[in-house]
């Protein structure tokens, strides 16, 4: 089949063009290679690879990359060719795949490697206003309807983050970036902070995605495709009552269904893992085969989190549709190394840790529950103590208590705090009652928003809970001197 098109069309048009099948007589060779995605740092799957004769640009040979980004094209006549490739992921990058001029025929098979341009070139094309050596990051992607797959133009995509400013005093400033999708549903958010996380969401009229936490490295491009659709509803629940006013928590519901399997690195099922879709209040646990299923979920893109004691939590975006259920497989790849207990026999009158806790308490930020209050408490579970903290809500689901914070005025719905134990970050959505008991704690620090949390415990917009285990027993009381006897110097 021969496509009689100019060179520009043959090399740069959509993959739907008709490609030539050469029938020339003479020797033939095979061409093999790999297409690499320099943005995602992995092979590019399902890319259409095309070789066009330099002296007959209306004729082309083509092949498609496999799951490892490799391709093979047979029956190629030796000669000089233009080599390039096409992929939907390239369309939203404001660049075109590079075209290589190669001479084939010196060996059989001939190897030709292809790939996306360097990250710096892509950023320069996406964000022409940025300085050449700017270290900020970029998020790109497409927004589509999850049921039809159609691209959605004029969707507002927003990223929020918090800047920590240290001048005469420590302050926290909320920042944001916003853009709209083009006619093909693609978007690019430029000038994002590197070395941290941003909260990403898309909105079109009353349709919205959930909030996704996206980690960014310096001078990097991260791809996040999103889906928005009609069908989600908002469920409002009464929260804590403070100063006579009830706080209202907003949860998302809808016709979406999600099922899947949780596996470990060896491919074996992980049982009793907690599976949760953020901002829905809906959780479940995996069964003996690692399977799970959740119904009544909002449609569109939302954050799925899976956690299990002994593994690091895993968070992935899921695209939920209203017409068909979504299925995913989650691999818990990084088991948490459990350290042996360390027995400490030394004692100090007043530790550095206690001093730092007291300094933070005097600043007036956050809520502090100290040892004396914990010892007076009749509760044995830490979550029962946290229920009394303003801004904290505890949900009971599947036999576990889930701690959430109410977001600020610019946020939507409750969110899960990051948990620290003795200053070490454990992650979000930890089972706090499994980590500690009330009697084992020296103090609890609760920061219900990023604006409250000190810099060492800031890890996102949801705030943090910091647990401190007992550091040393209380000092024994000294006996009072008896009356009528003077104290003698040694």
Q: Is the pLDDT of residue 390 over 60?
A: yes
Residues 92 and 151 in one domain: no
Inside any domain, residue 458: yes
Q: Which residue, 117, 145, 168, sits at the end of a domain?
A: 117
Q: Is the pLDDT of residue 478 over 50?
A: no
What are the CA-CA distances from residue 274 to residues 100, 406, 424, 459 (Å)?
Answer: 49, 21, 22, 22
Q: What is the DSSP letter of 7?
A: H
Inside any domain, residue 345: no
Q: Report the mean per-residue pLDDT for the chain.
A: 79
Residues 23 and 85 in one domain: yes
Q: What residues does 263 pair with on adjacent strands?
A: 269, 331
Residues 111 and 126 in one domain: no
Structure tokens belonging to residue 219: 């001078």
User: CATH number, domain at 449?
Assistant: 2.170.130.10
Inside any domain, residue 337: no
What is residue 130's three-state secondary structure? Answer: coil
Specify whether the CB–CB gap between 75 and 27 falls below 8 A: no
Residues 370 and 438 in one domain: yes
Q: For the purposes of burial, counting CB atoms within 10 Å of the CB of 46, is it exposed (0-12), middle (13-18) or buried (19 or more)?
A: middle
Residues 134 and 107 in one domain: no
Specify whether the CB–CB gap between 445 and 458 falls below 8 A: no
Q: Is the pLDDT of residue 444 over 80?
A: yes
Q: What residues does 301 pair with on adjacent strands?
A: 319
Residues 209 and 262 in one domain: no
Q: Using alpha carbons only, what angle is made at residue 314 by residues 309 and 318, rounded to the nearest 5 degrees? A: 135
Q: Minimum mean pLDDT among 2-16, 371-385, 394-408: which range?
A: 2-16
Cα atoms in the Cβ-side hemisphere of radius 13 Å centred on 273 = 31
Residues 285 and 364 in one domain: no
Q: What residues does 111 pair with on adjacent strands?
A: 32
Inside any domain, residue 344: no
Residues 245 and 222 in one domain: no
pLDDT of residue 12: 43
Q: How many domains does the chain have?
A: 4
Q: Is the pLDDT of residue 375 over 90?
A: no
Inside any domain, residue 286: yes
207-227: burial string, b at 16+ Cβ within 10 Å, e else: bbbbbbbbebeebbbbebbbb
Q: Which residue, 66, 84, 117, sits at the end of a domain?
A: 117
DSSP per residue, 323-343: SS-EEEEEEE--BPPPPPP--
Q: Minimum mean pLDDT among 201-205, 268-272, 482-486: which range?
A: 482-486
Inside any domain, residue 490: no
pLDDT of residue 483: 54
Inside any domain, residue 221: yes
Residues 373 and 282 in one domain: no
| Whole-number percent of the chain with pLDDT over 70 | 76
Inside any domain, residue 347: no
Residues 453 and 370 in one domain: yes
Specify whether the CB–CB gap between 38 and 88 falls below 8 A: no
Specify whether the CB–CB gap between 232 and 275 falls below 8 A: no
pLDDT of residue 249: 59
* Residue 104 pLDDT level (bands cut at 50, 70, 90): very high
Residue 27: closest CA among 85, 110, 100, 101: 110
* Residue 19 pLDDT level (bands cut at 50, 70, 90): very low
pLDDT of residue 81: 94
Q: What is the mean pLDDT of residues 378-396?
A: 82
* Residue 50 pLDDT level (bands cut at 50, 70, 90): very high
Q: What residues does 50 pair with on adjacent strands?
A: 62, 84
User: CATH number, domain at 138?
Assistant: 2.60.40.1120
Specify whether the CB–CB gap between 446 and 452 falls below 8 A: no
Q: Which residue, 180, 197, 227, sits at the end of a domain?
A: 227
pLDDT of residue 397: 63
pLDDT of residue 351: 64
pLDDT of residue 449: 79
Residue 32: closest CA among 80, 65, 55: 65
**Residue 263 is part of which domain span?**
237-332
* Residue 15 pLDDT level (bands cut at 50, 70, 90): very low
Residue 447 or residue 124, greater confidence: 447
> CA 65: distance to chain centroid?
28
What distance in Å separates the CA atoms of residue 251 and residue 280, rounded to the nearest whole number? 5
pLDDT of residue 237: 56
Residue 385 or residue 240, greater confidence: 385
* Residue 275 pLDDT level (bands cut at 50, 70, 90): very high
Specify whether the CB–CB gap between 337 and 313 falls below 8 A: no
Give me the torsion for CA of 381, 382, 388, 390, rounded to 10°.
-160
Identify the top-confidence range among 280-284, 295-299, 330-334, 456-460: 295-299
Residue 14: closest CA among 98, 85, 95, 94: 85
Can you list the alpha helix ranges (DSSP code H) found in 322-407? 352-363, 371-376, 382-386
């Amino acid at each position: 089949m021969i496509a009689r098109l100019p060179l520009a069309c043959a090399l740069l048009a959509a993959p739907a063009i008709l490609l030539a099948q050469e029938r020339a007589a003479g020797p033939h060779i095979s061409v093999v290679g790999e297409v690499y995605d320099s943005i995602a740092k992995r092979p590019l799957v399902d890319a259409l690879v095309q070789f066009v004769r330099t002296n007959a640009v209306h004729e082309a040979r083509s092949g498609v990359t496999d799951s490892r980004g490799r391709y093979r094209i047979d029956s190629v006549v030796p000669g000089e060719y233009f080599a390039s490739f096409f992929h939907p992921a390239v369309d939203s990058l404001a660049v075109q795949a590079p075209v290589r001029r190669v001479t084939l025929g010196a060996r059989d098979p001939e190897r030709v490697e292809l790939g996306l341009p360097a990250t710096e070139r892509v950023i320069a094309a996406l964000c022409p206003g940025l300085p050449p050596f700017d270290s900020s990051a970029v998020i790109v992607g497409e927004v589509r309807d999850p049921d039809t797959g159609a691209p959605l133009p004029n969707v507002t995509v927003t990223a929020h983050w918090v800047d920590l400013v240290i001048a005469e005093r420590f302050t926290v400033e909320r920042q944001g970036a916003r853009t709209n999708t083009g006619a093909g549903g693609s978007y690019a958010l430029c000038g994002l902070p590197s070395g941290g996380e941003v909260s990403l969401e898309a909105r079109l009229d009353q349709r919205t995605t959930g909030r996704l936490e996206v980690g960014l490295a310096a001078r990097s491009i991260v791809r996040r495709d999103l889906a928005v659709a009609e069908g989600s509803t908002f469920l409002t629940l009464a929260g804590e009552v403070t100063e006579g006013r009830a706080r209202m928590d907003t949860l998302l519901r809808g016709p979406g269904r999600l099922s899947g399997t949780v596996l470990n690195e060896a491919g074996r099922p992980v049982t009793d893992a907690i599976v949760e879709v953020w901002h829905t209040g809906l959780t479940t646990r995996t069964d003996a085969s690692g399977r799970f299923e959740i119904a009544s979920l909002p449609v569109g893109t939302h954050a799925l989190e899976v956690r299990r004691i002994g593994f690091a939590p895993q968070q992935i975006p899921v695209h939920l549709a209203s017409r068909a259920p979504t299925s995913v497989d989650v691999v818990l790849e990084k088991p948490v190394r459990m350290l042996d207990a360390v027995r400490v026999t030394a004692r100090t009158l007043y530790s550095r840790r206690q001093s730092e806790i007291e300094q933070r308490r005097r600043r007036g930020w956050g809520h502090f529950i100290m040892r004396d209050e914990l010892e007076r408490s009749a509760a044995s579970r830490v979550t029962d103590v946290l229920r009394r903290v303003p801004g904290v809500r505890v949900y009971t689901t599947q036999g576990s208590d889930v701690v959430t914070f109410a977001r600020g005025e610019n946020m939507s719905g409750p969110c899960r705090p990051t948990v620290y134990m003795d200053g070490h970050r454990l992650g979000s959505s930890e089972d706090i009652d499994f980590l500690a008991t009330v009697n084992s704690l020296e103090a609890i620090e609760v920061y219900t928003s990023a604006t409250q949390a000190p810099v060492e415990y800031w890890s996102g917009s949801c705030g943090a809970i910091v647990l401190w285990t007992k550091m040393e027993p209380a000092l024994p009381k000294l006996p009072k001197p008896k009356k009528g006897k003077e104290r003698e110097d040694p």
